[in-house]
Amino acid sequence: MSNQFGAIIKAAKGEATADEKKAAKKPRKRAAEKKTVAAPTTKANGRDVNLTIKVSELRRRHWSAEAKRAGVTITEVICEALSDKFGEPST
């Protein structure tokens, strides 16, 4: 019975319903902030391989959060930085 009248009581009190709360939590799209980054594959063989580095957990968490906020992946950022520093391989 409480489920039946819960929405009515919340509306009368001015509280948001569960559906309204869920809709309010949807993140805004940040299409304007996204950068276009070249594909991380090499021209020579075209397949992706792993590249492993050791970093502190604190740095990894920070960088992951900032990348999500910016709408990019860590892979894109690393590939861009390495390409800027060392260039692309010649074919």
pLDDT tens-digit readout, 34-75: 555 555 554 556 788 999 999 999 999 999 999 999 999 999
Between residues 29 and 79, which one has the greater pLDDT? 79
> b or e along 18-51 (b: 16 or more beta carbons within 10 Å of the residue's beta carbon)?
eeeeeeeeeeeeeeeeeeeeeebeeeeeeeeeee
Helix residue ranges, H only, the chain:
2-13, 18-24, 57-70, 74-86
The verdict on residue 77 lying in a domain is: yes
First to last CA, the chain: 72
* 38 and 80 Cβ atoms separated by less than 8 Å: yes
CA 25 to chain CA mean position, Å:
16
91 within domain boundaries: no
Residue 58 structural domain? 2-86
What total of structural domains would you count in the chain? 1
Could you give the CA distance from residue 80 to residue 34 in angstroms, rounded to a whole number? 14
Residue percentage of the chain with pLDDT more than 70: 62
Residue 42's pLDDT is 47
Write down the pLDDT at residue 12: 78
In a domain, 74, yes or no: yes
Instruction: Identify whether 22 is part of a domain.
Output: yes
In sequence order, the 6+-apart residues with CB closer than 8 A to the CB of 78 are: 51
Name the average pLDDT for the chain.
78
Residue 6 lies in a domain: yes
The answer to whether residue 24 is domain-embedded is yes
More confident residue, 64 or 20: 64
